[in-house]
Amino acid sequence: MHEFKYKNNRLYCEGVSVETLAKKFGTPLYVYSYATLIGHYNKLKSAFKPIEPLICYSVKANSNLSILKALVSAGSGLDIVSGGELFRAIKAGCPAKRIVYASVGKTDGEIRVSIKRGILSFNVESIAELENINRIAGIFNKVVNISIRINPDVEPKTHKFITTGKLTNKFGIDFDNAHEIIIQRHKFANLNISGLHIHIGSQITEADPYVAAILKVTSFIQKLKERGVGLEYLNIGGGLGIVYDKENPQTAEKFAQKILPLLKKTGLKIIMEPGRFIVGNAGILLTKVLYLKSTPVKKFVVVDAGMNDLVRPALYDAYHQILPTSYIPCPESCEKVDVVGPICESADYFAKGRKLPSVLAGDYLAVMSAGAYGFSMASNYNSRRRAAEVIVKGNKVFLIRKRESFMDLIRDEIVVEL
Ligand code: PLP
């Protein structure tokens, strides 16, 4: 599943002990495994080989340039949601014809530069946006590909903050409006409605919600066919869940077994936008124990990483496994502790009431499965410098982002006399 394993009681990333990385680069530190990253991309690719989908890795999950470059070199396209992500995609060397762009709030500037670059497709989320892209494409005298993001109104059975395919969510266009748009497509002279897009949520551990959404979209495609409307692409989004705790998500093969027959039936070219599945288990956050603290009712392990480094527990009450970098057995008698960061918020925690082996100040802990929505959601809250990032390939270690400096924190500020 991933390349973070104990060898002789020391936690390794591929061929490198992570404790040596913590000592060399300091903590908090993000550590990624190249083999795990590319391994997950390849798993998806081979599971869906019969239809050869265009896999567009979702940049938002982890947007480090070296991660993007590695995936692009392996053949991946990129799914972007902002001008900043387009900038990164180009810097990472992604061919424009492998870039798809979703977001409910694309600005004129972002649309302009995407058209100039010649991206494969915009995933359009509203009628107003459709009109705007049509207008801007007209200025360039171009016809641009768009896919309509359908909101299929299905329940993905995941956290409400990462549910995106219900009609109460802000994303996509309902079937009736989508039908109306397609029938009236002559009104959009500068758009080629070449496909449909769905993305129903994230950390989805079962195939059923996808099956439900794809069945709905397939019958819509059939309805369009009967009216003489042909499409080229179906983009099924991302959302594949990974193991954080005791989840039992379907493997890429099991997922493919369930949905491949449905996708084949559409006769369309398939695009996928996985983020978490590819990078989630390819990264850990290394942190150092600063203090042990007991109150009359609790024991706390205070570490040097905080919610600014990894916000998922604070934001979604998300579970991350926590392992000591030097293996210590955790007998039944192990004490329950809260693992907390230094930030001035009670939401600043990595684990609550967790049975952990007894650690000491100075020990290192690995917060597992932190590769997706970890660094990419990091902030400077409490004027904390964002962590460094390294990637391991076999026995080699590459620094792929320096730890921020104090100067970085104030670089863009302008001090005025008031
Ligand atoms: N595509 C779109 C449009 C998204 O909004 C997201 C995540 O929010 C993704 C793909 C990637 O999702 P995941 O990381 O769950 O695969």
| Ligand 1: residue whose CA is nearest its atom 5 | 199
Q: Answer whether 88 contacts ligand 1 (Cβ < 6 A).
A: no
Tell me whether residue 210 is in a domain.
yes
Domain count of the fold of the chain: 2
- Are residue 319 and residue 332 in the same domain, yes or no? yes
Burial class (CB in 10 A: 0-12, 13-18, 19+), 287: buried
| Ligand 1: residue whose CA is nearest its atom 6 | 238
Q: Answer whether 375 contacts ligand 1 (Cβ < 6 A).
A: no
Residue 123 has phi, psi (to 5 degrees) of -95, 110
Q: DSSP E strands: which ranges in 346-403? A: 349-355, 364-367, 388-393, 396-401
Tell me whether residue 416 is in a domain.
no
Cα–Cα distance, 390 to 375 (Å, whole number):
12
Where is 269: in which H helix or E strand? Answer: strand 269-272
User: What residue numbers bound the domain in which 185 lies?
Assistant: 34-279
Q: What is the pLDDT of residue 248?
A: 84
The pTM of this model reads 0.96
Q: What is the pLDDT of residue 46?
A: 97
- Are residue 192 and residue 302 in the same domain, yes or no? no
The residue among 241, 262, 279 that closes a domain is 279
- Give the Å distance between the CA of 231 and the centre of ligand 1: 23
- Are residue 256 and residue 377 in the same domain, yes or no? no
- Are residue 252 and residue 228 in the same domain, yes or no? yes
Burial class (CB in 10 A: 0-12, 13-18, 19+), 382: middle
Q: Answer whether 274 contacts ligand 1 (Cβ < 6 A).
A: yes
Question: Which ligand 1 atom sits nearest the alpha carbon of residue 123?
Answer: 3
Question: Which ligand 1 atom sits nearest the alpha carbon of residue 238?
Answer: 16
Q: What is the pLDDT of residue 167?
A: 82
Q: Which CATH number is 345's domain given?
A: 2.40.37.10
Span between the terminal Cα atoms of the chain, in Å: 57
Locate 292 and state its tokens: 């042990």
In angstroms, what CA-CA distances link 276 with 151, 320, 369, 380, 383? 21, 14, 9, 23, 28
Catalytic positions: 344
Tell me whether residue 417 is in a domain.
no
- Give the Å distance between the CA of 58 and the centre of ligand 1: 6
Q: What is the pLDDT of residue 187?
A: 94
Tell me whether residue 135 is in a domain.
yes
Cβ(350)–Cβ(311) below 8 Å = no
Question: Which ligand 1 atom sits nearest the alpha carbon of residue 203?
Answer: 15
- Give the Å distance between the CA of 273 and the centre of ligand 1: 6
Q: What is the pLDDT of residue 197?
A: 97
The DSSP secondary-structure symbol of 303 reads E
Q: Block means of pLDDT (10 residues each) for the chain, length 418 residues?
A: 94 98 98 98 97 98 98 98 98 98 97 98 96 98 97 82 79 94 95 96 92 96 94 97 88 94 96 98 98 96 98 96 90 88 97 94 98 98 98 98 98 97
